[in-house]
Amino acid sequence: MFKKAFIGSLAVVTASTFFFGRDALSYLTTGASSLREAVRSEVPIEFEMERAKQEVAELVPAIHKSLKIVAEQQVSVENLRTNIDQKTAALEEQEEAILALNEDLKSGDTQFVYAGHSYTSNEVQRDLTERFNRFKTAEATLKDQQTILTAKEKALEQHRNTLEDMLSQKKTLEVELERLMARMQMINARKQISSVSVDDSQLARAKALISEIDQKLDVEAKLLDAEGNFLGLIPVETKTEESVDIAFQVDSYFGSGSDARSAELDAIDAKIVSLDEQAE
């Protein structure tokens, strides 16, 4: 199978060289890049989101590894610091002993007593020489250890800063993923809403019916206004015009025909009452 794939690839390269010449490699590279971009553009956003979550989750093992390194370096630094403190104290004691022996030898005595034992000046001199050589070696070793301690403390501080930066960036990425997730959900909700089709004809029919009802009500209102809309009220405005009887006025003024005019007045009053009843 591998042999067939190799032969196929070789055939593609040979054909490309034949058609495109020296530019074949450029065409192949550009085609492969375009193919990758086309495939990547077709990947769903949800899949890319899950892949981003996986990438952030894979930071956890690296963080745990860094935590372990920092813890180990911290223990190593503390142990080295303790060792240096002990050696420093021991060197201080040796320095005091060396200075004391040196002062004793400078006194010119031939016998010296230390811790209940007697020593000759030659023995003290040999012991002082051995002590001094060991002191110089221990002092040089202590300086080397102090240099190592400084380097380890610096490395520990760098690893701590790196770890804190990793933790901070991981938290930032998690917050960013939450923001992107909320944004994706909002966009998906908008897509669902926009994909819902609304029956415009039903909406138009409802609007037309409401408009028709409104017009009918306007017509009814206009009809009522045209009719006066005063039915059932007391006819206060209705006035009965009385005819003027000049002969009656003359007789009344001169005092004649009073009986006849009384009868006429009664007839007029009866006529007025009749008109009022008809108006009601």
Tens digit of each residue's pLDDT (9 = 90 or more) over 79-105 = 999 999 999 999 999 999 999 999 999
pLDDT at 2: 43
Q: Are 111 and 120 in contact (CB under 8 A)?
A: yes
Question: Can you read off the two tokens belonging to residue 235?
Answer: 């006819």
Question: Can you read off the two tokens belonging to residue 91?
Answer: 């060197």
Q: Are 119 and 111 in contact (CB under 8 A)?
A: yes
Alpha helices in 107-199 (DSSP H): 121-195
pLDDT category, 78, cuts 50, 70, 90?
very high
**Burial zone of 101 (CB within 10 Å; 0-12 exposed, 13-18 middle, 19+ buried):** buried
Q: Are 156 and 70 in contact (CB under 8 A)?
A: yes
CA distance 149 to 157: 12
Selected residue with higher pLDDT from 78 and 223: 78
Kindly give, in sequence order, each residue whose CB lies less than 8 Å from that of residue 208, ignoring residues fewer than 6 positions away.
none
Distances (CA, A) of 220 to 61, 216, 225: 83, 6, 9
Kindly state the helix (H) or strand (E) to which residue 80 belongs, with its residue range. helix 59-106
CA distance 16 to 231: 102
Selected residue with higher pLDDT from 205 and 81: 81
pLDDT digits (tens, 9 = 90+) for 246-267: 666 766 666 655 555 566 656 6
pLDDT category, 41, cuts 50, 70, 90?
low
pLDDT category, 214, cuts 50, 70, 90?
confident
